[in-house]
Amino acid sequence: MGLSHNNPRKFIFILLIISQILCMINNSKSDEITEQKPANFVFGDSLVDVGNNNYIITLSKANYVPNGIDFGRPTGRYTNGRTIIDILGQQLGLGGYTPPYLAPTTRGSVILRGVNYASGAGGILNKTGYAFGGRLNLDAQLDNFANTKQDMIYSIGEAATKELLSKALFSVSMGSNDFINNYLTPIMSKFEQQVVSPEAFVDAMISKYRLQLTRLYNMGARKIVVVNVGPIGCIPYERDLNPLAGNDCVDFPNQLAQSFNLELKSLVTELGTNLEGSQFVYADSYRIVIDILTNYQTYGFENANSACCYASGRFGGLIPCGPTSKICSDRSKYVFWDPYHPSDATNIIVAKRLIDGDSNDISPINIRQLINP
C-alpha cells in the first residue's frame, strides 16, 4: 500500500520487472524445447516394441531370457539386442532409448523427448492378434498418443506442444501381424481366405490405415515415416509351416506383403500430397531385407533362413524363443533371432539404410534429411 501511494512509478517499475522475469522463464522453456533434438514417437508391433507388452495380460511377451541377451537383460524387446528404433535413436542422437508408454516412469518431462507405443501382436485391424489376448492395435496406440498430447499441453502449453510435435519424428511400422496373425493364421486362414480374397483383405487394411494415419496428422504429427511390410514369407515361422517351399521363401505370404506394399506406397504419396504441411516418407523394409537375405554373406552373415534362438522345426520356427530354447554360438552371424524377428545385427543394417539410404530404400527423402531440413 505504501508503495502505491508514495511512489506509484516505483510500483509500476517493479511490476514491469516481475512481468519481464516471467516472460524470460516462459521463453526459456520454449527455447529449450525448440533447441533440443526432435522428439521420437513410435507406433508399431513386436518389431519395435520396447516393453509395452510387459504391462498387459497377453501371450505375446519377450521379457524373459534369452531375449535381450546382448542388451544386458530381457526388457520386452523381441530380439537379442536392440530394435531398429533403438538404433535410429542412437545414430541420430535423439536422446537415448525411447521409453514404452505403459512404463510407470514414462511421465512428466520424459514424454517431451518421445514415447514408444508399439505392442507385440498389434496390427492395423482391431481383430488382428486376437489369439494372444491382450495387445495394443494401432487404434489403441493412437488413443494413448492422444493422452500423451494432453499431458504435454498441461505441462508446456498448447502452442509449445504444437511446435514440438511439428518437429518430432513419427514412425509407424504396422501390417505384418495383419497377415501372420490374422489372414494367414493356420486355424482361421482356410475359412478367412475362402470368404475374403487377398485383394479385399489388403483393401480393408489400406482403408483402415488411411484413417489412422490421417488421425495421427490431425493430432499434430507432420514428419511421418511409414515402414512397409517385410518379406514375411522368409521368416523361419513361415518356412517351417510350409515345408514344400524347401529352402526358398514361401511365395504366398510374400505376395500378400508385396500387394499391400504397392497400395501403401500410393497411400503415402496421397497423404503427403493432400495433408497440408505434412512430410510422409515411405520406408521400403521389404527391399532392404530381401537384399540382406539374397546377399547375406556379403553382409557378414552365415545363416539367412534359420532362427538363432530355436527349439523346434527345421528352421527353428515352430516354437517362440524362450528359456528352454537353444541359441546359436554367434548371434551376429544370423539374420533372424527367433521365428519372427531379426537379430540386432540385421536391425543395424536396416536402421542405417533408413537413416542415410537413397530413394530405393526410403523416399522421397531419408530420415536424416527429414529431421534436418
Residues 97 and 160 in one domain: yes
Of 45, 341, 344, 361, catalytic? 341
- Residue 213 and residue 261 in one domain: yes
Instruction: Choose, from 45, 46, 119, 343, the residue flagged as catalytic.
Output: 46
User: What pTM value is reported for the model?
Assistant: 0.90
Claim to verify: residue 173 and residue 276 sit in the same structural domain: yes
| CATH code, domain carrying 357 | 3.40.50.1110
Whether residues 51 and 76 share a domain: the answer is: yes
Please tell me the predicted confidence (pLDDT) of residue 121.
Answer: 98
Structural domain range at position 332: 38-371
Distance of CA 290 to the CA centre of its chain: 20
178 and 196 belong to one structural domain: yes
> Within this chain, do residues 9 and 86 fall inside the same structural domain, yes or no?
no
Question: pLDDT digits over 285-329, tens only?
Answer: 999 999 999 999 999 999 999 999 999 999 999 999 999 999 999
Q: Which DSSP symbol is given to 129?
A: T
- What's the CA dihedral at 330, 333, 336, 338 to 10 degrees? -10
Q: Is the pLDDT of residue 30 over 50?
A: no
What's the number of domains the chain is made of? 2
pLDDT of 21 > 80? The answer is no
Determine whether 203 is an active site residue.
no
Catalytic residue flag (residue 46): yes
- Judgement on whether residues 30 and 45 belong to the same structural domain of the protein: no
Share of the chain above pLDDT 70, in %: 90
Examine the domain organization and report whether 92 and 207 are in the same domain. yes
> Predicted confidence band at 187 (pLDDT cuts at 50, 70, 90)?
low
Average pLDDT over residues 223-247: 97
> How many angstroms from the chain centroid is the CA of residue 109?
21
> Are 30 and 63 within one domain?
no
* 125 and 6 in a common domain: no
Band the pLDDT of 95: cuts 50, 70, 90: confident
**What's the rounded Cα separation, in Å, for the pair 207 and 160?**
32
Instruction: Return the pLDDT at 14.
Output: 52
Q: How does DSSP assign 273-338, residue by residue?
A: HHSTT-EEEEE-HHHHHHHHHHTTTTTT-SEEEEESEESSSTTS-SS---TT-EE-S-GGGEEESS
Which residues have C-beta within 8 Å of that of residue 83, sequence separation ≥ 6?
Answer: 47, 48, 49, 50, 77, 347
pLDDT at 226 > cutoff 90: yes
Residue 27 clears pLDDT 60, i.e. is over it? no
Cell of 160: 509449445
E strand spans, the chain: 40-44, 169-173, 223-227, 279-283, 303-307, 309-310, 326-327, 334-336, 362-363
Q: Which pLDDT does position 164 carry in this prediction? A: 98
| Residue 341 bears catalytic tag | yes
State how far the Cα of 301 lies from the Cα of 332, in Å rounded to an integer. 7
Whether 213 has a pLDDT exceeding 70, the answer reads yes
Query: Is 80 exceeded by the pLDDT of residue 36?
Result: no
Q: Which of 338, 343, 344, 361 is catalytic?
A: 338
If asked whether residues 187 and 301 sit together in one domain, one would say yes
| Residues 201 and 350 grouped into a single domain | yes
